[in-house]
Structure 1
Amino acid sequence: MRLRFAAAAYAAIVLCAGPARADDPKAFRLTIDGVTVDIDPGEDVDVKLPSGKTSKVRLDHNDFATFSDGTFSFVHPSSNSVTKSDLGDGIAQYLMASALGTLVVVQTYDKMNPVSLNQLMLQEMTKETVQAGGQLTQQPTTRKLADGKQLTGLKATVKTRTDRADFEIVGFGAADRGLLFITRVGDQDNVTEQPLIDKFWETLKIKL
């Protein structure tokens, strides 16, 4: 049962990691005094108000945004979106993936405590690389959040002849529910991508 959960969850990570696509020509719709305009971040638009006055409006991204689903929240760069998938069996997944392959994944479980799935999840995420000759090393880890909550799990590194990827998989739970947190970053992207991972851990809040 647990292996099925881990395999299904990892498959969902892989399937969801592609770039997001939007069908709308503009990312946002802005309404001022009943006048609606479509606008993209960084774009200047002239809006004619009901009074007859024309005003120039501009929409800009903040550098950071807060994502929350009610059981957890974290701060992330506003340029990175968070997508949600329903994996069934009371499992929901929230994925933030960068263009370079850095991953932040949060899985919420409504019917079981997922803390014991750490090892199985790591195996599913690294088995293809290991089967191709990659070397996997791992060690137990704990992570203390800013509010004092402590997460337990493992850190791991997968090395091939040409590259390396670092994983952290930790969980927090009660008797029949909980959360699983997964991060992945490649060593070649560490300088630019590690701040994204650090911001996640620094600002993560659990509301169970």
Structure 2
Amino acid sequence: MRMVSAAALTLIALCAGPVQAEDIKAFKLTIDGVTVDIDPGESTSMTLPGGRKSKVTLERNDFATFSGSDFSFVHPSDISVTKTDLGDDITQYLMASALGTIVVVQEYGKMNPVSLSQLMLQEMTKESVQAGAELTQQPTTRKLADGKELTGIRAQVKTRTDTADFEIVGSGVAEHGLLFITRIAEEDVATEKPLIDKFWQSLKVELQGG
């Protein structure tokens, strides 16, 4: 289980770091070989071949679809999904909001991770529990829009001042599979629950060989 613990610890480390903004335009827009740097919502003028001037505007859609090799889901377009190679044929995709709500997908290329929900929960909540937090959990089944069912754990970690809800479910076949993890603070549910709901409502799983 060494590689699995490493995956869980890497998840925790990634979620702990602050997100830093860069003073660089997010996109390059190219028309007839002329390129300008531009951010969503901005307008700029371009001089096209032949001297013709044109005003262009880049608008961002409210939502975008992120696709992995065996899954896809819809997310707010202003929240990016980062990809990390954890080694041992495990790839992690992380979406984190500014308030700390997280959605994680881990792809396992050498094993079926469905049975790892308990271990992942222990790794993610270990420090809080050691500090005196109360952990409650129960088995859960998450039914997707297409009828597929994912099994795992729903849990809550409660301290004197904070409460966080976790859901860890998986899907797999003989030698590969997917683990899905969400975390949301109870105090942020009013504003952040739509992010989690959109993920589960739009999640599609297409495991080859399954």
Same fold (TM over 0.5): yes
Q: What aligned pairs does 1:110-125 form with structure 2 within 5 A after superposition?
A: 110-125=109-124
Superposed displacement of residue 103, structure 1: 0.6
TM-score by length of 2: 0.94
Query: Does the Cα contact within 8 Å between 1:139 and 1:154 map onto a contact in 2?
Result: yes
| Superposition map of 1:65-84 within 5 A | 65-84=64-83
Alignment of structure 1 residues 164-175 onto 2, 5 Å:
164-175=163-174
**Which residue number in structure 2 is paired with residue 154 of structure 1?**
153
Distance in 2 of aligned mates of 1:104 and 1:138 = 19
Distance in 1 separating the partners of 2:24 and 2:119: 42
Per the TM alignment, residue 16 of structure 1 is displaced from its structure 2 partner at its CA by: 2.1
Q: Kindly provide the CA deviation profile for residues 145-180 of structure 1, in whole angstroms up to 9, marking residues without a partner as x.
A: 111111000100000111100000000000111000
- Counterparts of 1:136 and 1:16 in 2: how far apart (Å)? 22
Q: How does 1:115-194 map to 2 (within 5 A)?
A: 115-194=114-193
Instruction: Give 1:14 shift.
Output: 2.3
Letter in 1 for 2:72: S
Cα RMSD of the aligned pairs, angstroms, is 1.2
1:42 CA drift (Å) = 1.2
Q: CA deviation at 1:23?
A: 5.4
1:8 corresponds to which residue?
A: 6
- Aligned AA for 2:159? T
* Unpaired segments ≥5 residues, structure 2: none
Deviation at 1:7, TM superposition (A): 2.0
Contact 1:61–1:78 (CA under 8 A) maintained in structure 2: yes
Segments of structure 1 that go 5 or more residues without pairing to the other structure are none
Q: Could you list the per-position Cα deviations for residues 83-142 of structure 1 after superposition, in whole angstroms to 9, with x for gaps in the alignment?
A: 011111110000001111101000000100000100000000001111111000000000
Equivalent position of 1:89 in the other structure: 88
- Taking every aligned residue pair, what percent have the same amino acid on both sides? 70
Partner in structure 1 of residue 104 of structure 2 = 105
Q: Which residue of 1 aligns with 2:52?
A: 53
Read off the aligned partner of 1:121 and give its amino acid letter.
Answer: M
For residues 3 and 178 of structure 2, the distance between their equivalents in structure 1, rounded to whole angstroms, comes to: 13
Determine if contact 2:12/2:124 at 8 Å carries over to the other structure. Answer: no
- Counterparts of 1:49 and 1:21, CA distance in 2: 35
Kept in 2: contact 1:46–1:57 (CA 8 A): yes
Do 1:6 and 1:124's aligned partners in 2 also have CA atoms closer than 8 Å? no
Aligned length: 206
Q: Residue 112 of structure 1: SS of its match in structure 2?
A: coil
